[in-house]
Structures are given as C-alpha cells and as structure tokens.
Structure 1
Amino acid sequence: MEDSNTVGRLALWSIPLALFVMGLKLVAWWVTGSVALLSDGLESSVNVVAAIVAFAAITYAAKPADKTHPFGHHKAEYLSAVLEGVLIVVAALLIVMEALPAVLAPTAIEAPALGLAINFAAGVINAGWAFLLIRAGRRHRSPALSADGQHILSDVVTSIGVLIGLVLAIATGYPVLDPLLAILVALNILYQGWKVIAHSVDGLMDHAVEAGEADAIKAAIAANGAGSLGVHDLKTRRAGAATFVDFHLVVPAAMPVGEAHDICDRLEDAIRAVQPGAQIAIHVEPETEKAHGERVRVAPPAEAAS
C-alpha cells in the first residue's frame, strides 16, 4: 500500500509540474518566435495530457481485486503506457508539421538570450523530474510511472536539441538550422515513443519475470521443497507491480493432504521472500501424474537442512 501511495503522489505532482514547464516553454517561444521552441512547447502540452492519463491509470490500477477483476487491475498501467507512447509519436508529428514550413521560409530569431535561458530552466526541471520518475517506476514496478518519466526524458532531449539548434542558427546566421534541427529531434522522439509502446505491449502479453528473478524463484523452490518429489510446469508473469507464479508440486501418492499443504505454505513464504507480494498458485498432484513444462529439482531433507 505504501508503494502505491508513493507512486500515486508522484503521478499527481507530475500534472502541475508539466503545466508549469509547458508555460515556461511557451513564454520562450513567445519572446523569440523560434519554431523549434514552439515545437518544444507543443511536446510539453502532450506531457500534460500524458501526466493526467498516467495519474488516472495508476489510481485505477491500485484498486483491489473484485468479482469482475479477480486478478486485480494492474494492467491498467500498461494501457496508460501504450497511450503515452502514442502521445510521444503525436508530439513528434506536431513538431514536424510546425518545422517543415519554417524550412521553406526561415525567420530571424528575436531576443535569443532570454528565450534560451527560459528554455534551459524548463529543461533542467524536466531532467530532474524525469530521472526521479524513472527510478521510482523501476523501484515500485510501475509501467505508467516509468513511461511518464521516459516521455519527459524525450522532452529533455528535445530541449537540448532545440538549444543547440538555436545557438548554431544565431552563431552562423543561418536561421534555417532552427527548423532543421527540430525535425531531427522529432525523429529521435519517434524512436523513444516506439520503445515505450513496445515495452508496454510486451507487458500486456503477460511477459515472464526477468531471468535473475526467475532464478531466485527456482532457488527458493529448490531449497524449500523438501518432502515433495519436485516441481514442474513453472510459469511466471508480470502485470504492473504484481508478480504471478504458478507451478505443479509433485508429492508421494500416499502423502496426507495436511503435509502437502505444509509444503505449499513453506514454498509460498520462500517465494515471497525473494519476490515480495507475489500471487502464487500451486497445483498439488501425485507422483503418478505425467510431468510437463519446466521442471525444478528440490533438495532432499538432509540436503535442505544443510
């Protein structure tokens, strides 16, 4: 619950911060007339929408499981992340639409020093917030928060490109460099948007946990499955902050139900020690059943004790 509260607070604060940064960038465009600064401001307007969507998705994903969603609402974050990726692509297209006419008819930049200073300040704010969101998203396994951070980071890349373009345009006396660099930045944003969409769609497809996490789960099963004859058909999947683990536990045919249940309890505790909050489903079956899927050998009682 504490993790979800932290994620929710960060997502909420992203909204006023996105509005403030957008305001700074639009002021920078207003004082300079730079098409690159306008394109940067347009991307920030998309950031505002993305922040609102991320907050709504994170709030919904934190709802407990109910009758119609017995496995919880975790995947709502992936839907939000996919939408954020789409919005990043939209921002890139908006930039191209603004930049292309300026390539054909470039205009001189007014009050460049003031515009650069304002845009630089907006970029510094965005950079700090982006790294905070990405780090928190990874720590709390929040796809929506991570996607929001990646989105803002793409905005930082845009700002850096815009600043370089304006400096070059002013230094060389070729104002056409301003919209040309805006287009190059838009191409990079398209790539960032594709990465966000691909990662989120992968999550919607029930991607297994990372290799290191899977190895830790197998080690926990192997070390704490004494009394059973082994485990097979081990499956894992990740849904937002939730981890699901499913496997078949093979026991001697004559083992009492109570003993098999004790082994299951021990395995669940061991798995949750390496994968906190994991939702675990164990199917107990007699040794006469044919094994299938991935197998995990468990340590015999003497080996487990040592």
Structure 2
Amino acid sequence: MTQPNHLELPERERLLKLATYASVTVAFSLIALKSGVWMASGSVSILASLIDSLMDSAASIINLFAVRYALKPADQEHRFGHGKAEALAGLAQSAFITGSALLVLLQGIDHLVNPQPIAATWLGIGVMVLSIIATLGLLAIQKHVIARTGSTAIGADALHYRSDLLLNGSVIVALLLASYGIQRADAVMGLGIAVYIGYSAVRIGLDAIQILMDHELPDEVRTEALALARAVPGVLDVHDFRSRQSGHLWFMQMHVELPADMPLLEAHELGESVRTALVERFPQVDVLIHTDPV
C-alpha cells in the first residue's frame, strides 16, 4: 500500500478525473481499431485483445462514476465518507476481467482444436504496436496520479493495463508465427493470455476485498504511528491500536495510557497532542483517541 502525498480536494479531484477520462478515451479508441482488424483477420489472439479492451472500457466507465462518488465529502448517512466506492469499482473490474478471460479461453480451445488461417497479419501487428504506444502513455499518466493520490480504483485500472502490454506483445508474436504457417500459435497465445488475465483479476479482487473488509494498514505504517504516539511527552503507553483504509482516507483508533491523577483538561490536551503528531505525519488520517488512567 503506497502512502499518497497530501492533496487538497480540488487537486485530487483533477488528477483522478484526468486518469479516468484518459483511460476511457484509450479503451474506446483501441476497441474501434481492434474490431476492424479482428473482422479482417479472424485471429483469436486479436479477439482476445479486443475482448480485453471491451472489458477495459466497461471497467473505466465504472471507475469514472466510482471515483466521482468517492470524492464526495462525508454526510449524515455516510459519516466516514464515500471512499470505499473505489474498492467496489476494483471488485467490479475483477468480475469483468474474469469474464473476459473465460471468453478468450473458450475461443482459444476452439481454434486449437480447429485451426484456421489468419488474414491481414501485418495490419494486425500494426494495430498492436499502436496499442502498446497508447497503453504506455496511459500508464505514465496513471503512475503519476497513483503516486499523488494513492487511489485504489486507478491502481486496479493500471494493473490491468500493465497486463495489456504483455497481452499485446503476445499477439504480435502469434501473428508473426501465423504468417509463417504456424496457425496453432495464435490459439496457444490466446490461451496463455486468458490465464494471465485471470491471474490479474484475482489480484485486483483480493486487493479490493482487503479494503472492503477493513484490513489493517501496512505494518510499517502502524509501527511508525505507535512510535509517534508513545513519543509524545506524558504518554505512558498505547494499546488497542486499530486502523483501516477507505479510499484515500486512513482511520486510526487507539487507547492512550495516562497517569490516573492527571486533570481532565490536561489529559484532553495530551490526547490532542497525540492526534496532532499523527496528522502531521499522515495528513490523510482521521484519528480517534481514548484515554485510559493508569
């Protein structure tokens, strides 16, 4: 889990919209190109790439709406904000990607059993090269946005597009081999791509489930947070530390041990000192502190 830089909401919103709009634009452009080439060639590997782009577009549209919803501030019905909409988008992407993997797998098995000649191979190779260039450009944008925001939804989208680079490279290899008469190479590559897409779907789904199940923040973050709290002068110890993530927000809860004879006002101020120390180090964190007399 990458710790994002602290951003004001308008800047975070601008970056997330940039990534989602770029993803939708690239996905629909590649669909148009790959559809024409697949109809001309009949290649299973190009069909695999086309289906993958269709899933990309569906996932990108889901991301577009999920990110916009996740950016809404907390309200009376959602006191912890709407950040988990990003994780739900990641889970939906996992389902879409799994569906695409199954479709490609079935087509690959059919063409492996009944190999068919492939036409317009060089046209297909040209489109795959364009796909790689467009994907690299999109990944550069997504990498910048993830580093600044730590968005789960954009991270899931980027994982899928990184797998597209391997997918498009495999399609080029399959088409080159088919041009030399090795027809089953196209089906074999299609099957390999389907397996890899399925693996990516599992990774995306597990990451989303961890957030939805309120998985603890990374060990290094928790260790540092505990050290910061215990370093505040007057704090005897800290226990029952709990944490979770919701979109770009982190939540921490802890029991801070203070001397039993400390006045209430002083205990409150000391608790605020602990909260301030944590917020200064992790600007995206919301801290709840319970003081225990010792």
Q: Judge same fold: TM > 0.5, yes or no.
A: yes
Deviation for aligned residue 1:28: 2.5
Larger RCO, structures 1/2 (Cα 8 Å, 6+ apart)? 2
CA shift, 1:34, in A, is: 1.5
Q: Is the 8 A contact 1:137 1:144 kept in 2?
A: no
Q: Which residue of 1 aligns with 2:198?
A: 190
How many residues are paired up? 285
Cα deviation for residue 134 of structure 1 reads 4.5
SS in structure 1 opposite 2:231?
helix
Counterpart amino acid of residue 193 in structure 2: V
Check whether the contact 1:28–1:116 (CA below 8 A) recurs between aligned residues: no
Q: Which runs of 5+ in 2 are unaligned?
A: 1-8
Alignment equivalent of 2:155, drawn from 146, 149, 169: 146
Distance in 2 (CA, whole Å) between partners of 1:243 and 1:151 is 25
State the percentage of identical aligned residues. 29
Report the secondary structure of 2:214's partner residue. coil
Deviates more, 1:184-193 or 1:111-120: 111-120
* Inter-partner Cα distance in structure 2 for 1:25 and 1:272: 48
The TM-score with structure 1 as length reference comes to: 0.88
1:27 corresponds to 2:36 = yes
How big is the alpha-carbon RMSD for the aligned residues of Structure 1 and Structure 2? Answer: 1.6
The residue number in structure 2 matching 1:283 is 290
**Structure 1 unaligned runs (5+)?**
288-306
State the SS of the aligned residue for 1:190.
helix
- Helix, strand or coil at the partner of 1:183: helix
Q: Is the 8 A contact 1:138 1:146 kept in 2?
A: no
* Among 158, 166, 173, the residue aligned to 1:157: 166
Q: CA deviation at 1:135?
A: 5.0
The corresponding residue for 2:27 is 18
What letter matches 1:217 in structure 2?
A: A
Deviates more, 1:92-101 or 1:44-53: 92-101
* Paired AA for residue 205 in structure 2: I
Greater Cα radius of gyration, structure 1 or 2: 1
**What's the counterpart of residue 6 of structure 2?**
none
Structure 2 equivalent of residue 178 of structure 1: 186
CA distance, structure 2, for counterparts of residue 147 and residue 129 of structure 1: 13
Moved over 4 A (4+): none
Question: How far apart, CA to CA, are the structure 2 residues paired with 1:94 and 1:135?
Answer: 33
Corresponding residue for residue 5 of structure 2: none
Match of 1:250 among 238, 257, 261: 257
Q: TM-score, normalised by structure 2?
A: 0.91
Superposed displacement of residue 140, structure 1: 1.3
User: Secondary structure at the residue paired with 2:241?
Assistant: strand
Q: CA deviation at 1:97?
A: 2.4
Once structures 1 and 2 are overlaid, which stretch shifts more, 60-69 or 150-159?
150-159
1:279 alignment partner AA: D
Letter in 1 for 2:35: L
Q: In the alignment, which residue of structure 1 is the partner of 2:271?
A: 264
Indicate the larger mover: 206-215 or 127-136: 127-136
Q: Distance in 1 between matches of 2:147 and 2:105?
A: 32
CA offsets, 1:2-38, max 9 Å, x none?
2233113311221122101221222322332212112
State the match for 2:243 in structure 1: 236
Q: CA deviation at 1:50?
A: 0.3
Deviation at 1:73, TM superposition (A): 1.0
Residue 302 of structure 1 aligns with which residue? none
The reply to whether residue 90 of structure 1 matches residue 136 of structure 2 is no
- Is 1:211 matched up with 2:185? no
Answer whether contact 1:158 1:186 (CA < 8 A) is retained: no
Q: Deviations over 1:180-219 (max 9, x none)?
A: 2101110111111111111111111111111221222122
Cα pair 2:248 2:284 within 8 Å, conserved: no
**Residue 105, structure 1, aligned to residue 114, structure 2:** yes
